[in-house]
Structure 1
Amino acid sequence: MPTRRTFLVALPVATAALVLPPGALAHAGARRRGTPHPQQSPIALDTSTTKPAPELPELVVAYPDDVEVSVRYVSRDPDDPAGCTTRGHEETVEAEVPEGAAAVLLGGSRYELVQFHFHTPSEHTLDGRRFPVEQHFVHRGPNGETLVVGLFLTDDGAGGTPQDVVLARLPEECGEEVTVGGLDLASALPCDLSTLRYPGSLTTTPNTEGVSWLVLRAPVAVAPSTLRGFQELFPEGDSRDLQPLGDRVVRLREQ
C-alpha cells in the first residue's frame, strides 16, 4: 500500500497540460506512442530560449501559515536504503507535510503537497548559475500525478524564513525524525511566482518520467549559516547531474 512517504508515480498525459500549451498535447501523445525521447531531470534552464506561455494555468498557492512537519534524513539508494554508509545524490533531508494541509491549484485542479526536500548544490541551473541549494515541493494530483515546484535558495538572507526554521533542526544521518511545529509555509515562496515549466522526471531512483516541473524564476534568500549546516551534512553534494534537454521546450509562465 503506497504511503505519503512513497515517491510518487506520475501520469504523463494528465500532467502535460500544466507544462505544454493545448496544441502540443496531441504531438506529445503521438511521440509517446512511438519511440520516446528521454525526459529526465534536472536540466539547464535558459531564460533567453524559453517560450512565453501566458495560456498555461496560473499557479495558485494554498499553503498554511501554521503547520507541523516531520523532518527526516532519507535515502533512495537501492544499494544503501538506510543511507548510513555513503552520502550522494540519492539522499536528502525531507519534511513530510500532513495530508490535506497544503496544496497548489492549477487549472481548477488541486495538487496536494506531500513533502519538500533539499539538494545541494542546486540540481537545475538558471542562465548558467548554480545556486547553493534547491528546494523541491512535491505534490500529488487528483489522479496520482506528480508535480514538483522547484525553488532556488541563496545564502545572502537575514534568516527567519521557513527554510531557516526547518534546516536549523537537521536530523542526524539515520537518526530519529525531528518535529517542527508552527511552520509558516505560506511565506516559503517568493512573491514573484513566475515559473519555468517543462516535462521531466524524478531526480532520484527510480527517476520516473512524466513529472510536471514548475521551477520558480525568483529565488529565496536564507541565512548563510543555515545553508552551511545543510551543506556540511552532504560535503560532496546530493544533486543529480544535468540531463540533456533533447527536443523538449521550456516554457515561461509569467505571474
Structure 2
Amino acid sequence: MPTRRTFLAAVPAAAATLVLTSCGAAGATSAPPATGTPAATSPPPAAPGAQQSPIALDTATAQPAPDLPELVLDYPGDVEVRVRYVSRDPEDPTGCTTRGREETVEAEVPPGTAAVLLGDVRYELVQFHFHTASEHTLDGRRFPVEQHFVHRGPAGETLVIGLFLTDDGPGGTLQDTVLGELPDECGEEETVGGLDLAGALPADLSTLRYPGSLTTRPNTEGVSWLVLRTPAAVAASTVQGFRELFPEGDSRDLQPLGDRVVRLREQ
C-alpha cells in the first residue's frame, strides 16, 4: 500500500495553459505537506514566488469555466499501496525528532495502476498523502483533514487533486483504512491492500482549479491544482488518530492569491 513519498514537478508551458484553464498537470519529485495550523518553530518556505499554495478558495468569486475539460477518473476498485511516514525537513530528514508541517503520511501507488484524464492528457497517480488541518480553505471553512492525490503528466508535469475530509462519516472508506494502518514515525512502512480508489472521491467532481505550488519544501511552482468542492466523510476516530500523530498540524499557512484566477468547473 502507498508509500509516503511526495512529488511535484514544474509544469511545462503546454500544461501550464491547462492549469490556468483546467488546472491539469502532474508531478515529478517533491512533496506536499503544509500548515493550516503551523508549529511556531516551522521553518519559512524556501524562495516563495507569486504562485504559492495553499490559498483561500471562494466559490462565490471563482470564475465559472464550463469549457474546461472535465475530470475523468481511471481509478481501480482494488489496489495495494505502501504507506510510510515522510519528512521533508532538511534539518530532520528522517522525521524522528519533531513532527511538523514538513512531515506527513504518504501512500505510494504502483506505477500504471491509476490515473486521471483532462481532455486527451493522462496523468498517472503517483501517491496520495494527508494534512491536518486542511491546507486550503473553502468559503472560509477549514476542514479537519485534506487529502492530496499527486499525479504526473506525460512530460513530468504535476497535477494535484485536493479532497477535503470531514469527521462525521461511518467509517470503512479508503481513507479510514489507510489512516488506520499508520506506520510509526521512523518505523517500517506498511502495505495496505484491497483499497477502493474509485470510491475514495465523491460523486460530485466539481473542482476549483488554479496554478500553484507544492506546499512542502522546496515549494516548487508550476503545479496544477484541482480542489474538489465536495468533501468526503471519514470516521471521527480516523481524524483523531491522525491528529495525534501531528498535534501541531502538518499544513502550510495560506498564501496570497495575487493576480491568479480560480476557476470553477462544475461536473
Normalising to structure 1: TM-score of the pair? 0.91
Alpha carbons 1:14, 1:145 under 8 Å: kept: no
Alpha-carbon distance in structure 2 between the residues aligned to 1:37 and 1:94: 26
Secondary structure of 2:226 counterpart: strand
Secondary structure of 2:239 counterpart: helix
Letter in 1 for 2:197: L
Secondary structure of 2:217 counterpart: coil
Alpha-carbon distance in structure 1 between the residues aligned to 2:49 and 2:245: 35
1:66 equivalent among 78, 92, 110: 78
Check if 1:103 corresponds to 2:105.
Answer: no
Check if 1:17 corresponds to 2:17.
Answer: yes
Secondary structure of 1:147 counterpart: strand
Alpha-carbon distance in structure 2 between the residues aligned to 1:115 and 1:198: 20
Per-residue deviation, 1:89: 0.7
Check if 1:234 corresponds to 2:246.
Answer: yes
Check if 1:193 corresponds to 2:205.
Answer: yes
Alpha-carbon distance in structure 2 between the residues aligned to 1:70 and 1:232: 21
1:165 equivalent among 177, 187, 196: 177
Alpha-carbon distance in structure 1 between the residues aligned to 2:21 and 2:73: 21
1:245 equivalent among 247, 257, 261: 257
Runs of 5+ in structure 2 lacking a partner? 23-47
Runs of 5+ in structure 1 lacking a partner? 23-35
Mean CA deviation greater in 4-13 or 86-95: 4-13
Per-residue deviation, 1:6: 6.1
Give a deviation string over 1:78-130, Cα, whole Å, max 9, x none. Answer: 11100011111100000000000000001101100000000000000000000
Segments ≥4 residues shifted beyond 4 Å:
none
Give a deviation string over 1:31-50, Cα, whole Å, max 9, x none. Answer: xxxxx961000000011110
Alpha-carbon distance in structure 2 between the residues aligned to 1:14 and 1:103: 19
Give the percent of matched residue pairs that are identical in Structure 1 and Structure 2: 82
Check if 1:90 corresponds to 2:120.
Answer: no
Give a deviation string over 1:150-207, Cα, whole Å, max 9, x none. Answer: 0000000000111011111011001000000111111000000000000000000000
Check if 1:254 corresponds to 2:266.
Answer: yes
Instruction: Note closer, same or farther for the CA distance 1:5–1:131 as it changes in structure 2 (3 Å cut).
Output: closer
Instruction: Note closer, same or farther for the CA distance 1:37–1:230 as it changes in structure 2 (3 Å cut).
Output: closer
Secondary structure of 1:214 counterpart: strand
Matched residue, 2:42: none
Alpha-carbon distance in structure 1 between the residues aligned to 2:218 and 2:21: 28
Bigger radius of gyration, 1 or 2?
Answer: 1
Per-residue deviation, 1:7: 2.2
Secondary structure of 2:198 counterpart: helix
Secondary structure of 2:237 counterpart: helix
Per-residue deviation, 1:9: 1.8
Letter in 2 for 1:7: F
Per-residue deviation, 1:149: 0.1
Normalising to structure 2: TM-score of the pair? 0.87
Q: Tell me which protein shows more helix as a share of its residues.
A: 1
Check if 1:175 corresponds to 2:187.
Answer: yes
Q: How many positions carry a matched residue from both structures?
A: 239
